Amino acid sequence: MFKSNRWSRLALKAALAMPLSASAAQEPTSTVSEQELVDLVRTTEARASAFMRGDMDKWAGLTRIADDFTLMQPFGGEASRGFDMSPERLARLASYFRNGDAKIELVQSYASGDLAVLAVIEREHGEVGGLPDQDWSLRVTLVYRRQGAEWWLVHRHADPLVRNVGLETAAALARGAKLEGR
């Protein structure tokens, strides 16, 4: 056994680092073509537009959600896991989102192996939750995993902070303070 705690810690660090360095050195088993990314952005835009119109049949037809999907909603709160695609859930969503549209502004894309990440601004408007039509633009990060020939959504993180809100408002949001009018 090792004579000191220092050597034990070093041995543990080395044992943990070896598998990480070995996996980092492996080449991805497949690649993502530029055309696949272009198609993924187009599908993402069509999906966002259908969602904002409340056309959940179209949205569901364009959407593949992985079993291990995570969602960080623009309304805040805890991250959710999985997604209920039942007709009842889709009908509730269709009544909540109405008469809108969306365009995707690609900020950056990343791809490696069977994973693709899109960092986008969803330039959206519509009637949401009974409110009149307004701008609902969101900063969104989407993570897709290729399964066979299809791209499945495994993570979505969205926030409404497209415009700078300043330090005090950001601090108020971070501590959970109620903003004026709420």
Residue 163 in any domain: the answer is yes
Share of the chain above pLDDT 90, in %: 77
Residue 98 forms part of a structural domain: yes
Question: Could you tell me if residue 73 is inside a domain?
Answer: yes
Place of tokens 């971070």: 174
Task: Give domain status of residue 182, yes or no.
Answer: no
What pTM was estimated for this model as a whole? 0.80
Q: Is the pLDDT of residue 162 over 90?
A: yes
Range of the domain at 110: 34-174
Residue 102 lies in a domain: yes
* Closest C-alpha to 115, from 68, 58, 177, 161: 68
Which CATH number fits the domain that encloses residue 164? 3.10.450.50
Model pLDDT, residue 29: 54
Q: Is 29 part of a structural domain of the chain?
A: no
Whether 5 is covered by a domain: the verdict is no
State how many domains the chain has: 1
Residues 28-57: tens digit of each pLDDT? 456 888 999 999 999 999 999 999 999 999
Q: Is the pLDDT of residue 63 over 50?
A: yes
- Evaluate whether 104 touches 135 at the Cβ level (below 8 Å): no
The string of pLDDT tens digits covering residues 127-158 is 999 999 999 999 999 999 999 999 999 999 99
